Amino acid sequence: MDERGYRDDLRKVILEMTQKDLEGNASQRGIKKYFEGNIDKIINENIKKASSGMSCNNVYLNILKSGSNEKNISLIVKSIKSQDLFKSKKELIKFARYLGINATTKNSYNSILRRIANHIYSNRNEYSKRYFSYQKGGREYILEPERIKEDLIESYKSKARNDMKSIAKLLEISVDDEDNAEDIRRKVINYIMKEKLNKR
């Protein structure tokens, strides 16, 4: 698959996820337009985070994504062992703890390795949905569509809040720091309604 194919697939996945979150929202069309226009920017921000993140964390995500596609536990074991990071038992213990597996130096390297592989194999459906392999500039990134979706929604909320804040400022309506876009919108509507009633 070329880079465009990866991008289009990821965009489709995220937009479908946001669509589910939007059900029942009154201004769906406007939000959908915003999401479609800003999704590439948010994906690129997540790629930057992934490339600047801890290298061991990137290895973890790669193992989880590739392991979720393996046919058996032995292949997952082989995949883990192929990583230079996991040549030492200390690093393997860190990975086990990252996955919520209780492992100590008393456990043998092979028993920890087997428990990690079992864990990944048992949770392969969850990991295959959680992580998305994305190619850009000849590099592979493991991204989390759920996180990108949340960043996209947060970006919209922030923009909507700033827009409503600007309207409130023009109307000289005081706004609290905790007010979200919907709170400010209500204040603006109440203000306009009062003004209309006073004029009558």
Q: Report the first-to-last Cα separation within the chain, whole angstroms.
A: 65
pLDDT at 116 over 90: yes
Alpha-helix runs per DSSP H in 68-177 = 73-81, 89-98, 109-122, 124-130, 145-170
Q: What is the pLDDT of residue 109?
A: 94
Phi, psi of 95 (to 5 degrees): -65, -40
The pTM for the full model equals 0.74
pLDDT digits (tens, 9 = 90+) for 73-108: 999 999 999 998 999 999 999 999 999 999 999 999
3-state secondary structure of 25: coil
Instruction: Average the pLDDT over 101-126 and give the result.
Output: 94
Q: How do residues 170-186 score in pLDDT, each as one tens digit?
A: 888 888 888 888 888 88
